[in-house]
């Protein structure tokens, strides 16, 4: 029997790092023994809530250990020297240099995971925990279905009963979605560190000392600098998606409709299964939760293997598809990073979809975003229009002027 891609990859079975991971030292109390639940305040108690920022974290007030780890990574040359982006005239999208590869404008970034293994729907939800999460969690329990939840830190503080449902009752997988849901490429290195660090800290303190392995950038707004800070400082692997429901906009003026979401889900789940699906979905509103529940039976109808996202991606090799989505899959080879971390070198790929995020993110807003056109790594135009779908030859992550018109998205 020929060896398959899944035979070649040892898939992890949990969402958190081993106890000996380097980043544990940034969060645990100084002790010679692993932490136990009794070492932490009770989730929801005043002492538990008082430990975290109210609103946007102030990077100058973050733990010195986080700042030191960031400084060490910068000095080691593992954080690209890329300036933070700015807002365009509409105030919505970060404006980036035209030569910069950014997921926000359709360029697939080395080291970022976009695809699931063949035949797998890697299930995840953004922006919780929130009141609509209760309905979602009940549905998941009734169907014996595990999922990964990319939680906003402030939402954990404000909706801790829902957090406990996800973690304790459902025993689902927990991942990071920042503290206040900002455009991450617009932040300084220190502010990126604070957004991720506080999110990791509350998850660590609320799960008996578990250090999350994965994060998803709000709006999909990530570049090589932000992804490197997450990986080199905290050991966080960046995960985005290859299909976008735009379900965050359900019920909003000019937003998508349940019929449109249902049509897209029907198309994706009845279509090719190579690569597998990472679909952007939200536990944001009753509308978005209902859209998922309505589409879920299609997975069985079309023989998808539905798994929690965190259980089917990992550091032993991330599945990535070739330029032809119907072609044979390849494994991205690992490239060693500092602090025992690793980055991924990815093959070039093709495009998927795009959507438009809301203009003013808050702690409870969605991560609805412009999905990637997944060209690796090429320069992109930053005029704010959705990227043109095309397959692009593999080039350097920064286009030289001589290659701008050959290998860049317009």
- Residue in 126, 172, 173, 247 annotated catalytic: 126
The pTM (predicted TM-score) of the whole model is 0.76
Catalogue all structural domains in the chain, each as residue range(s) with its CATH number.
Answer: 5-28+91-407 (3.20.20.370)
Helix H or strand E segment including 8: helix 5-8
Average pLDDT of every residue of the chain:
77
Residue 330: pLDDT over 90: no
Is 39 among the residues known to form the active site? Answer: no
Burial class (CB in 10 A: 0-12, 13-18, 19+), 79: buried
What's the whole-number mean pLDDT along residues 311-325? 47
Query: What is the band of 218 on the pLDDT scale with cuts at 50, 70, 90?
Result: very high
Contact between 312 and 320 under an 8 Å Cβ cutoff? The reply is no
Dist CA 157 CA 282 (whole Å): 19
Residue 285: pLDDT over 70: yes
Strand partners, 107: 375
| Least confident residue range of 3-17, 59-73, 105-119, 203-217 | 3-17
Q: In terms of Cα–Cα distance, which of 337, 321, 305 is closest to 374?
A: 321
Dist CA 166 CA 187 (whole Å): 30
- Residue in 17, 24, 181, 282 annotated catalytic: 282
pLDDT value of position 228: 97
What's the whole-number mean pLDDT along residues 119-134? 98
Is 24 among the residues known to form the active site? Answer: no
Give the Å distances, CA to CA, from 343 to 177, 289, 333. 20, 34, 9
| Per-residue pLDDT tens digits for 143-165 | 999 999 999 999 999 999 999 99
């Amino acid at each position: 029997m020929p060896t398959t891609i899944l035979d070649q990859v040892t898939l992890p079975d949990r969402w958190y790092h081993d106890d000996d991971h380097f980043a544990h030292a940034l969060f645990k109390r100084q002790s010679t023994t692993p932490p136990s639940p009794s070492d932490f305040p009770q989730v929801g108690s005043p002492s538990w809530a008082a430990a975290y920022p109210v609103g946007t974290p102030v990077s100058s007030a973050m733990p010195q250990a986080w700042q030191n780890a960031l400084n060490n990574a910068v000095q080691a040359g593992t954080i690209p020297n890329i300036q933070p982006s700015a807002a365009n005239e509409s105030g919505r999208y970060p404006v980036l240099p035209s030569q910069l590869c950014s997921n926000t404008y359709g360029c697939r970034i080395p080291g970022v995971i976009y695809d699931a293994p063949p035949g797998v729907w890697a299930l995840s939800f953004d922006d919780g925990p929130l009141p609509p999460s209760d309905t979602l969690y009940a549905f998941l329990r009734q169907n014996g279905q595990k999922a990964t939840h990319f939680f906003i830190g402030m939402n954990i503080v404000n909706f801790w009963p829902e957090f406990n449902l996800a973690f304790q009752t459902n025993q689902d997988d927990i991942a990071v979605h920042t503290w206040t849901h900002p455009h991450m490429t617009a932040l300084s290195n220190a502010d990126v560190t604070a957004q991720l660090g506080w999110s990791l800290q509350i998850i660590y303190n609320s799960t008996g000392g578990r250090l999350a392995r994965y994060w998803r950038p709000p709006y999909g707004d990530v570049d090589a600098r932000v992804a490197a800070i997450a990986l080199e400082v905290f050991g966080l692997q960046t995960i985005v998606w290859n299909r976008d429901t735009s379900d965050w906009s359900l019920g909003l003026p000019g937003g998508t409709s349940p019929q449109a979401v249902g049509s897209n889900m029907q198309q994706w789940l009845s279509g090719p299964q190579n690569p597998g699906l990472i679909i952007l979905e939200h536990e944001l509103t009753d509308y978005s939760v209902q859209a998922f529940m309505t589409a879920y039976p299609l997975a069985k109808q079309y023989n998808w293997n539905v798994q929690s996202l965190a259980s089917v991606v990992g550091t032993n090799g991330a599945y990535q598809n070739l330029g032809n989505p119907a072609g044979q899959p390849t494994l991205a080879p690992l490239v060693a990073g500092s602090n025992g971390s690793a980055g991924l070198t990815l093959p070039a790929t093709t495009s998927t979809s795009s959507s438009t995020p809301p203009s003013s993110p808050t702690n409870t807003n969605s991560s609805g975003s412009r999905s990637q056109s997944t060209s690796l790594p090429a320069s992109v135009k930053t005029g704010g229009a959705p990227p043109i779908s095309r397959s692009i030859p593999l080039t350097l992550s920064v286009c030289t002027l001589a290659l701008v018109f050959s290998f860049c998205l317009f």
